[in-house]
Amino acid sequence: MRLVLRSVMLLAASATARAQMPGAPVLQNAWAAPGIVGAVNVAAGDGSTYAAAASWGSASGRLQLSGGFGVRSRSGAGSKSVYGVRLALPFGRSASAIGFGAFAGVGATSSAAANSPDSVASTTVIPIGVAIGWRVAVGATRGFSVYATPSYVFLTGGDSSTGLVRTAIGVDLGVARNIGITAGVEFGQSHTRTRGGPTGTLYGVGISYAVGRR
């Protein structure tokens, strides 16, 4: 069982390459997969966001760096680019079923046109939080993990800034040795849209591919 957790579950524990982008939930698992993982992600709840991301994990699984870029569309405000990076530090043992870690990131949107009704919502978000997860193997090549990521989110939009307490719950599913699916939801304190959001609950789903043999 320990061998399965060390090999098979490395993908399920870090299935989607994550980065911090406005409009997307902050989903960060408690484990990191060594090597490179690429992903496509879709988020909703405060407009819609379509993005591509990639992550790199150290051979020890003690460090993960993620980055992503996409487009966010909001009603009455058109579309703007979003981008972000995140650093995660898993602390648990690589073979354990229960893990924990810490992370921090920064993300932003492109500036809106001066005459846009959303012009003050060119947002920068800086989340700092922890990740707590549980994982289990299913057969020889599949598995899943469930995790929670409470965080404090420093947010700026327009001429104001604020701090919000938010929590996300996610599920990573390893459907094959190199392919994973992630789904999650984020909720907590909100901010007005004209001040940058988030205005409520955010949802996200992603599909990922781990480069190289596992």
Give the whole-angstrom CA distance, residue 33 versus residue 6. Answer: 10
Are 156 and 141 a contacting pair, CB within 8 Å? Answer: no
Nearest to 64 by CA among 37, 26, 25: 37
Report the run of H or E that residue 171 belongs to, with start and end: strand 160-174
pTM for the whole thing? Answer: 0.85
Are 208 and 179 a contacting pair, CB within 8 Å? Answer: yes
Please tell me the predicted confidence (pLDDT) of residue 87.
Answer: 95
Per-residue pLDDT tens, the chain, 214 aa: give them.
444 444 444 554 444 556 788 889 999 998 887 888 899 999 999 889 999 999 998 888 889 999 999 999 887 777 889 999 999 999 877 678 899 999 999 999 876 544 455 444 567 889 999 999 998 887 766 788 899 999 999 988 666 788 899 999 999 988 887 888 999 999 999 877 766 678 889 999 999 888 875 5
Please tell me the predicted confidence (pLDDT) of residue 177.
Answer: 77
- Domain 2-210 grouped into CATH 2.40.160: yes
Give the whole-angstrom CA distance, residue 5 versus residue 140. Answer: 10
**Contacts of 194 by beta carbon, 8 Å cutoff, 6+ apart:** 118, 120, 121, 157, 158
Please tell me the predicted confidence (pLDDT) of residue 112.
Answer: 55
Give how far the C-alpha of residue 62 lies from the chain's centroid of Cα atoms, to the nearest Å. Answer: 17
Please tell me the predicted confidence (pLDDT) of residue 174.
Answer: 84
**Contacts of 191 by beta carbon, 8 Å cutoff, 6+ apart:** 155, 157, 162, 164, 197, 198, 199
Q: Where are the domains of the chain?
A: 2-210
Q: What is the DSSP letter of 92?
A: S
